[in-house]
Amino acid sequence: MLTKVLSAAHSGLDTIPIEVEVSISKKGFPGFNIIGLPNKAIDEAKERVKTALTNSGIEFPQAKIIVNLAPADIPKEGSNYDLPIAIGILTALEGVPETKRRAFFYGELSLDGSLRHTKGVFLLALAAKRLKIKDIFVPEESANEAAVVRGVDVYPVKTLKDLTNHLVGTEKIKPLKNQNNIKTELEQAVEFDFAEIIGQEQAKRALTIAAAGGHNIFMQGPPGSGKTMLARALAGILPPLEEEESLEVTKIYSLTGNIPPGGSLILTRPFRVSHHTTSRIGLIGGGSNPHPGEISLAHNGVLFLDEFPEFSRSTLEALRQPMEDGKVSITRAAGSMNFPAEFMLVAAANPCPCGYLGDPKRECKCSPRMIMRYQAKLSGPLMDRIDLHINVPAVDIEKLIPQKGKIKKPVNSKVIRERVETARKIQSKRFKGTGVFTNARMKNKQIKEFVKIKKEALLLLKQAVNSYNLSARTYFRLIKVAQTVADLESSPSILPNHVAEVLQYRIRVES
């Protein structure tokens, strides 16, 4: 007997319906084969399905079983085909009736017949809504992901036996109610409050501007000056994700399996930290079956790269195109895939290998050749794509020791975050309906349409561009940052003082 069960495959962030065709024949030698370009995980589904059926009290047939994953020319990977294969076999054995209306079956089976948390369920629900398929059957631990999508009935399946009883009609599974109020907080905790950081007021101000406008920032300073601490404190002043941004981030995290069991919609901005030994594929994405890298996992959030010059040159240069376009295109023999990558880059570096070049108290022991080789790892085109360049000097020990008398209380992260959120609301209103969320993502067309700059401010900007021989890209980036400074002050136009402040962050400090 031949039966067909509907499942799905993910190609990048696109979901493709897959028909799981199951044929059981008593003719020929008993066997169990899966065809249709399956990978190793799918090939191993034979043993998982067989054992799960047996442990669920269902006798596995001694017959020739062929499972075809159609269309056969699309590569398939993952363990989500376990459930549709099992249902296909049960339907062919007439253990359960064929479903009256089209439904998605999706999930990994344990050997005892229970269903495990399976990645990609949120993408499945979006595809079901797009294809007007009403019902989806997914693991109970993954059901919250799908329940945020309206117009789809999500059936949380705990065990294969429960699903069998539901299909037979003896004990129905109730569809999960819409869980629009459930959120998933990313595991990255806020380690530091801005109030805990002594001094470094210029760096704090620059990070506030960066967070408000989504701008890239580069911090340079000696070891122990607080660069890493400042970067990690940045997570505490980032605004929550907008609804559209949240859906984009949740899609990526669902695809990569980064949403924990029971988790759902992601509302906090990602804050990703990559070690300098991270490979180019790990950072940018790729592989034989392309998968998102760290820059896509940091989409609509922050990518922090400490010890920036220690990354390989090829890895750093691969950042250039995604930083400009907000997406990464990965091409392989099987085809091309696009992943979103609108991240805010936060980079930190020492001025030289020993870290004390230009330090007034510590002597630099590096040779000119070593310094030149170290700094040359950061190419001009790459640094030109970073909006804010700040020097983070070592903090005087006297400032670290509590002093008697009146001490000015530093501003905490909560107050700064409120300022950032106010600036983001101004930008959200400005760019409504354009698909742009921050000043950093404005195109030249939108700069001409939305940005209002006073004549005096424009004259100062032109003088700076001519004096320092800045590129056209830098000119437009300066305008974007100046607009963010204006938004932080709720100013309707860019004023000369806004441009003056931005210029001190833009001109890279050369030792």
pLDDT digits 0-9 by tens, 347-394:
999 999 999 998 888 899 999 999 999 999 999 999 999 999 999 998
Pairing, β 302-305 against β 31-35? unpaired
**Architecture category of domain 194-413 in CATH:** 3-Layer(aba) Sandwich (3.40)
pLDDT digits (tens, 9 = 90+) for 364-376: 999 999 999 999 9
Is residue 76 within 8 Å of residue 67, measured between CB atoms?
no
Which amino acid is it at 104? F
In the 8-state DSSP scheme, what is residue 304? E
Q: Which residues contact 118 (CB under 8 A, 6 or more apart)?
A: 78, 79, 80, 106, 107, 108, 138, 139, 142
Cα separation, 20 vs 3, whole angstroms? 8
* Topology annotation, domain 2-168: Ribosomal Protein S5; domain 2 (3.30.230)
The whole-number mean pLDDT for each consecutive block of 10 residues of the chain, a chain of 511 residues, reads: 94 94 92 94 94 95 95 92 97 88 95 97 97 97 93 96 95 83 52 88 96 97 93 94 94 95 91 95 90 96 96 95 93 83 97 91 93 92 94 79 64 94 96 93 94 96 91 94 97 96 75 35
Supply the pLDDT for residue 95: 85
Supply the pLDDT for residue 334: 66
Cis bond before residue 353 (omega within 30° of 0):
no
Supply the pLDDT for residue 507: 66
Any idea which residue has 């929550």 for tokens?
Answer: 240
Is residue 461 within 8 Å of residue 478, measured between CB atoms?
yes
Q: What is the DSSP string of 243-297?
A: HHHHHHHHHHHHHTT-SPTT--EE-SPPEEEE-TT--HHHHHEETTTTEE-HHHH
Whole-prediction pTM: 0.91
Burial 361-371 (b: 16+ CB within 10 A, else e): eeebebeeeeb
Alpha-carbon Rg for the chain, nearest whole angstrom, is 28
The residues with which 2 forms a beta bridge, in sequence order, are 23
Pairing, β 153-157 against β 271-274? unpaired
Beta strand extents in 26-152 (DSSP E only)? 31-35, 64-70, 103-105, 108-109, 115-116, 135-139
Tell me the Ramachandran region of residue 300: left when phi exceeds 0, alpha when psi lies from -120 to 50, beta otherwise: left
Nearest CA to 93 among 188, 20, 3? 3
Helix 121-130 and helix 243-255: axis angle, to 10°? 120
Which amino acid is it at 84? P
Is residue 348 within 8 Å of residue 309, measured between CB atoms?
no
Nearest CA to 52 among 184, 211, 175, 159? 159
229, 354, 356, 365, 393 from 362: Cα distances, Å: 21, 10, 6, 9, 12
- Degrees to nearest 5, angle at CA 485 with 413 and 228: 40
Nearest CA to 255 among 217, 224, 291, 293? 291
Pairing, β 291-292 against β 285-286? antiparallel
Q: Cα 247 to chain center, whole Å?
A: 11
Listed by start position, the domains of the chain span 2-168, 194-413
Q: Which residues contact 333 (CB under 8 A, 6 or more apart)?
A: none
45, 104, 217, 381 from 83: Cα distances, Å: 9, 10, 47, 50
